[in-house]
Amino acid sequence: MKIVPRSKVIYSFSSQHKPVEHIKSGELVLLETEDALGGQIKNEESSLDVLDWSKVDGATGPIFIEGAARGDTLVVEILDIKIEEKGLIVTVPKHGILGEKRFKPSTKMISTNDGYVHFDEGVRVRANPMIGTIGVAPESGEIASGSLGRHGGNMDVKMLTSGTKLHLPVFVEGALFAAGDMHAVQADGELCVSSVEVAGEALLRFSVIKNRKPEWPILETHGCFAILACGNTLDEAATFAAETAVKAFMREYDWSFERAYMFGSLAVDLEINQVVDPKKGIRAAISKEFISLENMLT
């Protein structure tokens, strides 16, 4: 097993970054990650004013996956996630879905031991550690690790947890994978712009599907696939996600657009990933009963 330490951090996804590790298909990788604030906030008295924003939203990597080339699919299996026992959540004026309201910058330290996130006296939420930022080098240019796109990135999908697979399109040789920004738990939407931000480690395994790739990242659980699309608005993201699902049905069943569009109303759940990042994210979830991975790749 190879260990990639959290000191190997990037702040953008780009083909120009030099890989910090080379790994083979099937090899286990333990990826250590810092919290999304770069580990800079240690207590509730720390002022966000002193935050070095250039060290926020980092991702550990990039990792070169041998055999991955442009036009392929990188399959990432999230085998396990371990998180540290202390996390934090912040409010930042002008950020989050209610960013136009008047409120103060604030920090809350949160204990995440014993399988629960202890939010307040008598108020706890079962922990469900997940990976907020996960992706590969994009088609062109450089995309900040705090943003998201067809390459993945800061998608903040609560289902990217232990036991989930992620299928990412590969744009450059080796894919140049990186991940970070774990949350001890997050609900759909991530309303206040942060969730329970925490350092941790993810046990990952990679493989490659040659010469076929998804249009958007696709997550896979035991029971469903979900297309992870994003856009400048939720409406735009929903349109991209729905269109990708309808095209997959046309391939799966050899249906006309009209027939596949109709079936979308029966079989596609449009769910919100987050409403607070530079682009908004929607997932189109489809039961495995109705679609195969093969027909979600082109």
Q: How far is the CB of 156 from Ca ion (least distance, A)?
A: 4
Q: How far is the CB of 193 from Ca ion (least distance, A)?
A: 8
**How many CB atoms are located within 10 Å of the residue 115 CB?**
9
CA angle 291, 167, 79 (to 5 degrees): 110
The first and second tokens of residue 182, run together, are 């774990």
Single out the residue of 172, 163, 176 nearest to residue 139, CA to CA.
172
Q: Which stretch binds Ca ion (CB under 5 A): 17-25, 148-156, 172-180, 233-241?
A: 148-156
Q: How far is the CB of 45 from Ca ion (least distance, A)?
A: 24
Place of tokens 């953008």: 12
> Taking CB under 5 A as the rule, does residue 156 contact Ca ion?
yes
Could you give the CA distance from residue 89 to residue 70 in angstroms, rounded to a whole number?
38
Q: How far is the CB of 95 from Ca ion (least distance, A)?
A: 12
Could you give the CA distance from residue 29 to residue 13 in angstroms, rounded to a whole number?
19
Identity of the amino acid at 73: T
Select from 73, 91, 147, 154 the one that contacts Ca ion (CB under 5 A).
154
Could you give the CA distance from residue 26 to residue 206 in angstroms, rounded to a whole number?
6
Q: How far is the CB of 88 from Ca ion (least distance, A)?
A: 13
> Taking CB under 5 A as the rule, does residue 21 contact Ca ion?
no
Place of tokens 């799966």: 252
Could you give the CA distance from residue 286 to residue 269 in angstroms, rounded to a whole number?
7
> Taking CB under 5 A as the rule, does residue 132 contact Ca ion?
yes
Nearest-Å Rg of the Cα atoms of the chain is 19
Q: How far is the CB of 253 from Ca ion (least distance, A)?
A: 36
DSSP 205-235: EEEEETT--BSS-EEE-SSEEEEEEEESSHH
Q: Which stretch binds Ca ion (CB under 5 A): 48-56, 65-73, 99-107, 149-157?
A: 149-157
For Ca ion, give the closer residue by CB, 132 or 149: 132
> Taking CB under 5 A as the rule, does residue 87 contact Ca ion?
no
By rule CB under 5 A, what count of residues binds Ca ion?
4
For Ca ion, give the closer residue by CB, 73 or 147: 147
For Ca ion, give the closer residue by CB, 34 or 156: 156
Q: Which stretch binds Ca ion (CB under 5 A): 7-15, 124-132, 198-206, 289-297?
A: 124-132
Q: How far is the CB of 183 from Ca ion (least distance, A)?
A: 7
CA angle 243, 245, 250 (to 5 degrees): 95
For Ca ion, give the closer residue by CB, 75 or 276: 276
Single out the residue of 192, 136, 128, 125 nearest to residue 164, CA to CA.
128
> Taking CB under 5 A as the rule, does residue 35 contact Ca ion?
no
Query: Scanning residues 157 to 216, which ones bind Ca ion (CB under 5 A)?
Result: 181
Q: Which residue number is nearest to Ca ion in terms of Cβ?
A: 132
Single out the residue of 159, 132, 158 nearest to residue 146, CA to CA.
132
Q: How far is the CB of 59 from Ca ion (least distance, A)?
A: 10
| Site for Ca ion, rule CB under 5 A | 132, 154, 156, 181
